[in-house]
Amino acid sequence: MTRMAQLTAGLFAGALLAIFAVAVSSKAIAFQDPAKLAPQMYKVVLDNSHVRVMDYHLKPGEKEPMHSHPCGVVVYYFTDSNMRVNSPTGEVKESHNRAGDVVWRDPVTHFTQNIGKREVHALVVEPKDSCK
């Protein structure tokens, strides 16, 4: 094999490994548990074979780590909230909810930052049964 062929094969193999590493790290992000990553923010108050319920607190200016929620998450807000929501692809949105709002979410991987002046307090309900 010529030196040029070896160089080309090495570059090709390196590119494939880089693509695989990015795919694996993206997959790892998609299934990270917020209760394990940020137990100071997510306190599990009920966990059985059908549902997991978490008491959620996010102080003003605080940012949570990237994490995921399964299909059918219901969030009940105890306080008004103003949050910046960031996706793994870099998409950024703002979310504004009032105390008493109930929100349905499809599966999501994200992290949020409290951009308000008050602590966000919510109840997060994650069903364990698949969405149909």
**Within a domain: 10:** no
Number of structural domains in the chain = 1
Pairing of strands 67-69, 120-127: unpaired
Angle at 35 between CA 49 and CA 68, to 5 degrees: 85
* pLDDT by 10s per residue, the chain, length 132: 676 545 444 444 343 334 444 444 444 444 689 999 999 999 999 999 999 999 999 999 999 999 999 887 889 999 999 999 999 999 999 999 999 999 998 899 999 999 999 999 999 999 987 666
**Within a domain: 3:** no
**H or E element in which residue 46 lies:** strand 42-47
Q: In the prediction, which pLDDT does 71 show?
A: 82
**Within a domain: 5:** no
Rg of the chain on CA atoms, in Å: 20
Q: In the prediction, which pLDDT does 80 show?
A: 97
Which residues make beta-bridge pairs with 83?
95, 114
Q: Give the global pTM.
A: 0.74
Q: How far apart are CA 73 and CA 42, in angstroms?
A: 14
CATH of the domain at 52: 2.60.120.10
Confirm if 95 and 112 have CB atoms less than 8 A apart. yes
**Within a domain: 4:** no
**Within a domain: 92:** yes
Confirm if 131 and 72 have CB atoms less than 8 A apart. yes
Q: Which domain does 87 fall in, by range? A: 34-127
List the helix and strand counts (H, then E) for the chain.
Answer: 2, 9
